[in-house]
A and B are shown apart, each in its own frame.
Chain A
């Protein structure tokens, strides 16, 4: 049963490696968006420090959104998605594998680069661990919710814009608690509550999103 899961995971990671330019583009987008803010709001360190958590989180969210449409598009065009839907294994398995591969190639690099960019924005070092933990908990939620949106808008004309309209409102709570965690840690109230809420959100998304995504894919390919 797990062989399907690992086959899809291995294939998607291999494809990400063969087409690694796409992964680098996402990462470069993240870096450039963050670097734009000092130009826009001025290089006053206090100001940058104050907006740093929000800027990093919004940039991470946009980077994730930028690559979401790629999640199922190629498989839809070349017929692989049909074959996966005809698998004798439950669709939830391979959907989860695809989202995991997507997060490993999009979310994880963003999480890895975020602390460096946080230093660029002069975020206090005490906030760095919380920033990384909040991103580690939050970006998988973005990937899972985004996958449902990507499945629903599959094959539609102007699907990319529709996808953004559909999932960005759903990303708002993640953004609030993610950026809020860092601010709470820096203001001394402790980030535990925010991180626990993010963890709960991740557990909920992990339990429900793959089912929603599989159902949406069946509808979209019909």
Chain B
């Protein structure tokens, strides 16, 4: 489904990794591992099409992602390191905009339900600048509850700044998504209680 072969990533004038191959089937959960600076985030950006690989190619359902970008992005949910929140908007406004910008037509009630489910029902009308780091992260993660129709989730450090219960809830959500035939690719340094142990891709093996 999602496959890449012979990927090489150049950052500045330094080659981060080369010859990297990966394959993610429906229901698969892939954890990208490796020490800091080895190129985990860069790999996620290559896979989502935000960055261009120096060599190699990423394919989605057999088609190179660059050839039909919009069709690929319709099936992709990427949550990056920055939570994509504007400080002047409320969590609800941020979430509704994030869905609309991605091209999903989601009504206000569903957004409120998603925010309540992730534990922000009392912060709906506060500007995002007064939220804590963990709460900001949760606003971004609330999109997961609204993106069931997008099979491929690519998450960069989703567990950072979350408390123990939130980590368990998120792990359960990701496991459920895989159970339903979705795919999850994530980076994390934390051990999370997944229902099934994730496959591990160690970028360090391909480091230059």
Give chain A nearest CB distance to B85 CB in angstroms: 6
Establish whether residues B73 and A78, one from each chain, have CB atoms under 8 Å apart when the complex forms.
no
Residue numbers in B under 8 Å from A77 (CB-CB): 82
Whether A82 touches B101, Cβ cut-off 8 Å, given contacts A15-B86, A88-B70, is: no
Interface size on B, residues (CB 8 A): 30
Give chain A nearest CB distance to B51 CB in angstroms: 5
Which of A15, A75, A79 counts the most B-chain CB atoms under 10 A from its CB?
A79
Establish whether residues B84 and A83, one from each chain, have CB atoms under 8 Å apart when the complex forms.
yes
CA distance A85 to B72 in the complex (A): 12
Give chain B nearest CB distance to A81 CB in angstroms: 9
Establish whether residues B88 and A86, one from each chain, have CB atoms under 8 Å apart when the complex forms.
no
Establish whether residues B103 and A87, one from each chain, have CB atoms under 8 Å apart when the complex forms.
yes
9-residue interface stretch from B15-23, B92-100, B160-168, B181-189: B92-100
Establish whether residues B50 and A88, one from each chain, have CB atoms under 8 Å apart when the complex forms.
no
9-residue interface stretch from A4-12, A129-137, A151-159, A171-179: A4-12
Residue numbers in A under 8 Å from B105 (CB-CB): 3
Residue numbers in B under 8 Å from A125 (CB-CB): none
Residue of B nearest to A6 (CB): B100
Residue numbers in B under 8 Å from A74 (CB-CB): 86
Main secondary structure of the interface of A (DSSP, over half): helix
A89 interface neighbour in B82, B84, B96, B103, Cβ under 8 Å: B103
CA distance A3 to B99 in the complex (A): 11
CA distance A85 to B84 in the complex (A): 12
Number of inter-chain CB pairs below 8 Å: 79
Establish whether residues A86 and B50, one from each chain, have CB atoms under 8 Å apart when the complex forms.
yes
Residue numbers in B under 8 Å from A19 (CB-CB): 88
Residue of A nearest to B143 (CB): A83
Interface string of B97-126 (1 = CB under 8 A from A): 110111101000000000000000000000
Contact of A55 with B by CB under 8 A: no
CA distance A75 to B71 in the complex (A): 24
| Interfacial residues of chain A within 80-139, with CB under 8 A of chain B in the complex | 80, 82-90, 94
For the complex with contacts A3-B103, A83-B80, A87-B101, 14 further pairs of A-B residues with Cβ separation under 8 Å are: A3-B100, A7-B96, A7-B101, A11-B93, A14-B89, A15-B89, A74-B86, A79-B82, A82-B82, A83-B98, A86-B50, A86-B76, A88-B74, A90-B70
9 A-B pairs (CB sep. < 8 Å) = A7-B100, A7-B101, A79-B84, A80-B84, A83-B80, A86-B73, A86-B78, A88-B71, A90-B70
| Nearest 8 CB-CB pairings of A with B | A79-B82, A7-B100, A88-B103, A88-B74, A79-B84, A18-B88, A88-B73, A80-B84
Residues of B that sit less than 8 Å from A by CB? 48-52, 70-71, 73-74, 76, 78, 80-89, 93, 96-98, 100-103, 105
Residues of A that sit less than 8 Å from B by CB? 3-4, 7-8, 11, 14-15, 18-19, 74-75, 77-80, 82-90, 94, 221-222
